[in-house]
A and B are shown apart, each in its own frame.
Chain A
Amino acid sequence: MALLVATTLALVACMVMILARALLGPTVYDRVMAVNTFGTTTVMMIAMVGYLMGRPEFLDIAIAYALINFIGTVAVLKFFEVGILGADSSSPSEPSAREKPVE
């Protein structure tokens, strides 16, 4: 239990620091990196909270978050690479169309 609480506290500290980087970050790359890292921290946080509250089923949600985080980062990086989204290639629009029906 102490291990779980300590890990959660460490994650909270990480979140605060990442948030500071996202808010201050002089370049946009700092912010992209911060958002991506924050997503990863969120995934770990959900997993830790699941074990803390005695409901490890939350792991499924953590996995779904990891997927969403990945798709978002790919979209952002494509924006940098190509400068435009969707018109010429379908990679970012396909996952978004699949996510839409979630109520």
Chain B
Amino acid sequence: MTENLLILLLLVMLIVIAVAVHRLRSLFAAAMLFGLFSLVAALAYVLLDAVDVALTEAAVGAGISTILMLSTLALTHQRTEARHRRHLAALCTVIFTGAVLLWATTDMPGFADPESPVHQHLAPYFLQESASDIGIPNAVTSILASYRGYDTLGEVVVVFTAGVAVLGLLGGRRSSGRQRREED
């Protein structure tokens, strides 16, 4: 009960922050509020017991994204251009799509419903057997690191390749002597 109230409060905070980000003209303040948004979302994930997702949200959302946005701000302007006029057609489209999606959720199983189809197929096996199969108490960790080990390895390779490629692109444009010497 307390948990549900807390989650509800966090969701209200998320909406308030999102509206504020939309209304702010100062891009720096918007970047700060984005970090705040990620922190609130991560807290909600912790309350929902999705600890690994929460950690990723905090690291990527509040950590890296803020740094990336600040680096972008350092290269561009710090304020938005004058606001464009309102697009009624776009607003109607967004509201319509949102309403349709909301209507579609009524067909979905209830929140954390153990009878929902996704929890009937493989999940019971993983929940009961993974501790003795793999020896890791956390079922999510054992799926990521062992059952799906090759998949995770592939993901790491992809992320590593992307990182190396970005470093190559950025490093090529540097002309300071210190960087050159480091590359040699």
Q: Which positions in A face B, CB cutoff 8 Å?
A: 5, 8, 12, 15-16, 19, 22-23, 25, 28, 31-32, 34-35, 38-39, 42, 45-46, 49, 52-53, 58, 61, 64-65, 68-69, 71-72, 75-76, 79, 83-88, 92-93, 95-97, 99-103
Contact = CB atoms under 8 A, between A and B. Distances in A.
Contact of B36 (A22, A53, A68, A84): A22
Nearest to B24: A23
Contacts of B36: 19, 22, 34-35, 38
A65 B159 CA distance: 22
Interface string B41-82: 011001100010011101110111011101101110000000
A68 B60 CA distance: 9
Contacts of A8: 2, 6
B144 A22 contact: no
Contacts of A45: 43
B3 interface: yes
Nearest to B21: A23
Label chain B's interface by main secondary structure. helix
A103 B16 contact: no
A79 B134 CA distance: 46
B63 A96 contact: yes
B131 interface: no
B33 interface: yes
B32 A31 contact: yes
A68 B26 contact: no
A101 B33 contact: no
A64 B55 contact: yes
Interface in B1-32: 2-3, 6, 9, 13, 16-17, 20, 26, 28-29, 32
Given A68-B62, A102-B60, A28 B32 contact: yes
